[in-house]
Structure 1
Amino acid sequence: MTGRRPSCQGAHMAAADWVPGLKAVSTYRPAWLPKDVIAGIVLTTLLVPQGMAYAELAGLPAITGLYTSVLCLLGYAVFGPSRVLVLGPDSSLGPMIAAVILPIVASDGDPAKAIALASMLGLLVGVFMTAAGVLKLGFIADLLSHPTQLGYVNGLALTILIGQLPKLFGFSVDGDGLIEETTGFIRGVAAGETVPAALAVGAGGLLVILLLRRFLPKIPGILIAVAGGILAVVVLGLTDDGVDVVGPLPQGFPPFTVPTVSWSDLGLLAAGALGITLVSVTDTISTASAFAERTGQEVRGNQEMIGIGTANLAAGLFQGFPVSTSGSRTAVAFTAGARSQLTGVVGAGAITLMLVFVPGLLKDLPQPMLAAVVIAASLSLADPAGLRRLWRQRRIEFGLAVAAFLGVALLGVLPGIAVAVALSVLNVFRRVWWPYQAVLGRAEGVDGYHDLREYPGAERIPGLVMFRFDAPLIFANARTFREEIRRLAHADPAPRWILVAAEPITDVDTTAADMLEDLDEELNAAGISLVFAEMKSPVRTKIDRYGLTRTIDPAHFYPTIEEAVAAYRMISSLPEEPAT
């Protein structure tokens, strides 16, 4: 018996690593219960209107947002590692979901088909996300650099805002893309299609949400706006004035449903699911990191992906759609005192009770109010201050952000994410292709050797050029390195040594090795020696393995620049350098 305990304990610990919900139950403190319950109830007041609003943003019936909220919260509570993260329908994913499913159902506008497509999309996102977590592919979140992510999010915020304005004004626009929707909205307003009562309800609700968020953030502004909108519809009879309402919701919990779609649609859904997965992973890792600092938890990126993947799988099997982490809902739960994922479970339970016992509670919720909720979310997504900061800090990265912004605004949400990823990758490649290069000299009163651009008066030793190349030396930049060395070699008078300060060179691949061999022979024929200093041991090992020391003198590798300079002074009969 005693011999088997460690094995059982080890199995339990392994299970807890894969299923964090088991550990959460075993370590739960009774003192947390009142706080989790209260936080769950507070969270529900946000989950319900946002879930319905984001469902319609995705082109789906409002009820699917509630189904999605319930199942994703339960799925993450079992497999998610964070104690406080809250999942659900997300404003940033809504347009992406719509961009995938609406073109497929546009011909007949069948809501049942749209739900099936969205559910399959959720399942695909769940599979991709879970597989990425199991295979430890958390690094894919790095495919979106901060500047491109900033541009993408601002473009998305503008797209959402413009798309919701007609609904706020009480009419609809048939347009594809930001430009068509903008012109359609302007034409609608100019043609007198605005419903005054709808605009009053929507604009009033938006004002309440924004003012309370700004000045009284602890008061649930969305709940107050939604309750006020319902009250206005009931008391003033606004439906008679042309205000559209949500209408009765189906009663009960959604059945377990395996969505069926045609094989011809599966390819489009898979492509969309990849984009949604990337955005969701990036958003989740950044949100998890922010709240981990507050709670003292460690971010487990791969397990986060498994948790989010499971949440998407659960939602997809119960008429739901893809979900992500919500920073705003997580902040509400955290501020309300949430201590564990029981908060989300309480929220899911409260929504379920509403669906089972009082499905008509929200039937008079005005559609313009849902538009106000989405517009408020889009305004919180936007970060113009971040763009201004990039403009001041680094213009080229500001340009990347603007390009990503235009990609979303002009090409659409899914092409926009492809543009953002491509720009991020190309920016990395650009930095490797054209790295920073410098010629060094000895500046008076400063230790070491420094860039002549920063110290134009720095002393240069006759016949010696010290050159620094700030990147790994690989196929992409081998030509750049060679051409710069050739330029230095053709100076008048020509140098005797070209000393490469190799500390920033973290790698040399075979293409670069062949280039160095040819370059050294070329320089030797001109009476110039190619010399290296401060080369890292792993790189020097590769140099030896490539056989480069057949042409490059093994004695021309020095541990420090100072030793290389001293050796050059000795063979050139120059006086020793004075100590600084």
Structure 2
Amino acid sequence: MYDAVHHSSPGPFADTSLLQAIDYVESLFPITGWITRYNFGWLYGDVVAGLTVGIVVVPQSMSYAQLATLSPEYGLYSAFVGVLIYCLFATSKDVSIGPVAVMSLLIAQIIKHVQNSHGDQWSNPQIATTVAFICGLIVLGIGLLRLGWLVEFIPAPAVSGFMTGSAINIVAGQVPGLMGISGFDTRAEPYKVIINTLKGLPRTKLDAAWGLTGLFSLYAIRFACDWATKKWPRRRQVFFFISVFRNAFVLIILTLASFLYCRHRKSSSGKYPIKILQNVPRGFQHVGAPVIDGDLLSALASEIPVATIILLLEHIAISKSFGRLNGYKINPNQELIAIGVTNLVGTCFAAYPATGSFSRSALKSKSGVRTPAAGILTAVIVIVALYGLTPAFFWIPTAGLSAVIIHAVADLVTPPSQVYSFWKVSPLEFFIWLAAVLVTIFSTIENGIYTSICASIALLLIRIAQPRGYFLGRVDLHSPATQTKAPASREVYLPLKLKPSLYNSDIKVIPPAPGVIVYRLEESFIYPNSSRVNSDIVDYVKAYTKRGLDISTIKLSDRPWNDPGPRPGQDERAENERKPLLRAIVFDFSSVSQIDTTGVQSLIDTRTEVERWANQHVEFHFASILSPWIRRALVAGGFGTGVPSHHIPTEIASVVPYHLHSSNHKAPEKEADIEERAVPELRIGSGSSSAPINLEDTPFFHLDIVEAVRAAEGTAAHEASRVDDEDSIDVKS
């Protein structure tokens, strides 16, 4: 008996939990889903792409390390770890991880910030590695907690504006190095750097011969290859690889020229006539556990948020873009895990923060990459450079590296056609783009990214708090008869005031029957906008419907302060009699996906105010309710069931602990729960093909706007005829 019990099955729940745990662990390593099916067809594309990116990433990494005020080898460390580790966690075959221009510039600014505050207490590499560790840990946590959706709060124009401003910032800071101009801070605000560069043009040194020649050659090769591709399309692959290798080719020529010129011109003080890289340590010199100083963490606290935002924002934007172009979908949470692990592992190699590179990812995609495994071959190229080519790096001119940086980041500037698209699609987002660019240029990258994020969130809140709402009228559409179909007509509801730019000016919108108002809200009905909707409806009711109580006979002294009566010479009674009496309000909820307690309370307040104005019961009809939760909330507020409003409390959730309900508002008798009401059956279609739709006992909830308006107009017509009958009886009597 003991053995039977001891070895009994743990049950289906335990098995399910175990399977879920296994699936979760496997999802952290997407490589397990495709590596077992790897084939030689994929291998050819990966080898070509890996070699191509490897040849480009070596000079770029050293250039970006210089931009980050680090030695060139640190850029190679980041490149190696980035391309190797990312392939294990990637959900994108195209993205290449490593040093990027924007993050490198930010690292330089962070180093400057820390050293201005604490002096030389920590070295530049230690500061950069600590930033990589903290940012990697934060991004990894965001990915593991599946919070990648937070990135969606930042729209594309904001990212584009920030990237454009950063590119201009980088170019401005590299021009002095390109020209050999010194004597001022190239990490200052871009506009100051530009001004100081123009002032320093007379101090241009011999470095400009290498820098300008390199920059001109890079663009000349690129444009020549583009022209040749159009001229001889059959040779496009050849011209593509010639264009790809232009960075390495130009840097080799400049290095050779530097070697020939400088080798016999070393001064007595040990300086060369132009700035060169000189000693680049061979291999991995700083492998080991990262040194994390608590005081340094405190000094970096204010800089970590913007570094983290850039780290994840740039990568997600790039990976999504290439996923759309190449027909696959990335997993944002898994991409964040990949970035987090890459940077955490990178700290053991003394790497500084790495993220997705736009230029190298585009190159990898165009090279025909088939799987993320191409990164392994790229890592091999970086190792070869670290262990076999460091003596040749000695003679690389820094002006040539500046040319490589300027050429690479110039592609990050948003082209005018794209800016014009922002303006055409959404002028407000265009101004967000413009603000991000200007703030980045005239301030810092940090302020630029915060400006774009804050402006985007502010625009989102404004759109929610200031929703578009329209008072609707009917338009009859008629379709002509064809050979297979008889003539037909249908009703649609459009705004009473049509914009000529959107609709044909010949369209005539027929207002609803007198006493009926039709309103459509184009947002969820929630707490930021509920007060605005209430004001719009109540103001419209007071402007276009008759007051139910004749107060023209009431003394002015007895009238409330907020309704003091007509101005001198104004006949209030005559104006009031020309308007119809409000009978019903129809709400089109086809665009409302959510409603909350404040929204329901606002509807109750609206009903109270319009009934006080009309001095009678007003029906509230709702059409095209999308969610059962919206239906439930409205029923809880006393709508849809046909129960008169004087039987319903005027507050659904009292804020102050004081009973404000008047004595004539009796509590309704105990009713069945919302879910337990009688459910009549409504059928759509005819014959055996009809499908039943179960609805609650809510006669004022309708399937579409046409049905809702007809019901409201029927009520209005019935009430009008009843009033006419009563008036005729009074006259006869």
TM-score, length basis structure 1:
0.90
The alignment status of 1:349 with 2:397, answered yes or no, reads no
Partner of 1:514: 601
Partner of 2:543: 491
8 Å contact from structure 1 (residues 142, 282) kept in 2: no
Partner of 1:409: 441
Partner of 1:248: 279
Partner of 1:473: 525
Distance 2:82 2:73 in 1: 15
- Equivalent residue for 2:625, pick from 535, 541, 547: 535
Partner of 1:119: 129
Distance 2:215 2:718 in 1: 77
Cα deviation, residue 277, structure 1: 2.9
Q: Secondary structure at the match of 1:256?
A: coil
Distance 1:185 1:111 in 2: 31
- Equivalent residue for 2:198, pick from 183, 186, 190: 186
The alignment status of 1:323 with 2:354, answered yes or no, reads yes
- Equivalent residue for 1:174, pick from 169, 185, 206: 185
Which amino acid in structure 2 is aligned with residue 467 of structure 1? Y
Aligned pairs for 1:63-462 (under 5 A) are 63-106=73-116, 113-172=123-182, 173-174=184-185, 176-189=188-201, 192-195=202-205, 197-216=206-225, 217-219=240-242, 220-237=245-262, 242-293=273-324, 296-385=327-416, 386-445=418-477, 447-454=491-498, 457-461=508-512, 462=514
Distance 1:203 1:111 in 2: 37
Cα deviation, residue 260, structure 1: 3.3
Cα deviation, residue 329, structure 1: 1.2
Which amino acid in structure 2 is aligned with residue 305 of structure 1? L
Identity %: 25
Partner of 1:504: 591
Partner of 2:680: none
Cα deviation, residue 27, structure 1: 2.7
Distance 1:498 1:330 in 2: 56
Partner of 1:578: none
Cα deviation, residue 458, structure 1: 0.8
- Equivalent residue for 2:712, pick from 558, 568, 574: 568
8 Å contact from structure 2 (residues 215, 404) kept in 1: yes
Distance 2:359 2:109 in 1: 24
1:396-428 CA distance string (max 9 Å, x none): 221111112222222311121111111111111
Counting matched residue pairs gives 569
Distance 2:422 2:327 in 1: 30
The alignment yields a C-alpha RMSD, in angstroms, of 2.9
8 Å contact from structure 1 (residues 501, 533) kept in 2: yes
Q: Once structures 1 and 2 are overlaid, which stretch shifts more, 400-409 or 540-549?
A: 540-549
Q: Secondary structure at the match of 2:222?
A: helix
8 Å contact from structure 2 (residues 84, 376) kept in 1: yes
Cα deviation, residue 339, structure 1: 2.8
Q: Once structures 1 and 2 are overlaid, which stretch shifts more, 416-425 or 550-559?
A: 550-559
TM-score, length basis structure 2:
0.72
Which amino acid in structure 2 is aligned with residue 351 of structure 1? V
1:229-274 CA distance string (max 9 Å, x none): 1122123339778421111201121332344354343145354333
Q: Secondary structure at the match of 1:218?
A: helix
8 Å contact from structure 2 (residues 527, 599) kept in 1: yes
Q: Secondary structure at the match of 2:621?
A: strand
Q: Secondary structure at the match of 2:204?
A: coil
Distance 1:21 1:556 in 2: 55
Cα deviation, residue 313, structure 1: 1.1
Cα deviation, residue 562, structure 1: 1.4
- Equivalent residue for 2:63, pick from 53, 57, 71: 53
Q: Secondary structure at the match of 2:313?
A: helix
Distance 1:78 1:95 in 2: 28
Cα deviation, residue 430, structure 1: 0.9
Cα deviation, residue 13, structure 1: 6.3
8 Å contact from structure 1 (residues 59, 102) kept in 2: no
Cα deviation, residue 380, structure 1: 0.3
Change (3 A) 1:84 1:487: same
Which amino acid in structure 1 is aligned with residue 702 of structure 2? Y
8 Å contact from structure 2 (residues 586, 712) kept in 1: no
8 Å contact from structure 1 (residues 55, 64) kept in 2: yes
Which structure is richer in relative contact order (CA contacts within 8 A, separation 6 or more)?
Answer: 1
1:159-194 CA distance string (max 9 Å, x none): 1111111111112331521232222222212xx211
Q: Secondary structure at the match of 1:520?
A: helix
Distance 1:17 1:78 in 2: 11
Cα deviation, residue 303, structure 1: 1.3
Change (3 A) 1:30 1:47: same
Q: Judging by fraction of residues, say which structure has more helix.
A: 1
Which amino acid in structure 1 is aligned with residue 717 of structure 2? S
Q: Secondary structure at the match of 1:93?
A: helix
8 Å contact from structure 1 (residues 151, 405) kept in 2: yes
Q: Once structures 1 and 2 are overlaid, which stretch shifts more, 281-290 or 378-387?
A: 281-290
8 Å contact from structure 1 (residues 407, 420) kept in 2: no
Which amino acid in structure 2 is aligned with residue 541 of structure 1? R
Which amino acid in structure 2 is aligned with residue 418 of structure 1? Y
Which amino acid in structure 2 is aligned with residue 573 of structure 1? A
Which amino acid in structure 1 is aligned with residue 405 of structure 2? V
Distance 2:373 2:586 in 1: 63
1:55-98 CA distance string (max 9 Å, x none): 12222222110111111222112222333421110112122222
Distance 2:21 2:539 in 1: 64
For structure 1, the residue ranges without an aligned partner over 5 or more in a row are: 576-580
Q: Once structures 1 and 2 are overlaid, which stretch shifts more, 493-502 or 429-438?
A: 493-502
Q: Once structures 1 and 2 are overlaid, which stretch shifts more, 313-322 or 76-85?
A: 76-85
Cα deviation, residue 281, structure 1: 2.5
Distance 1:118 1:141 in 2: 24
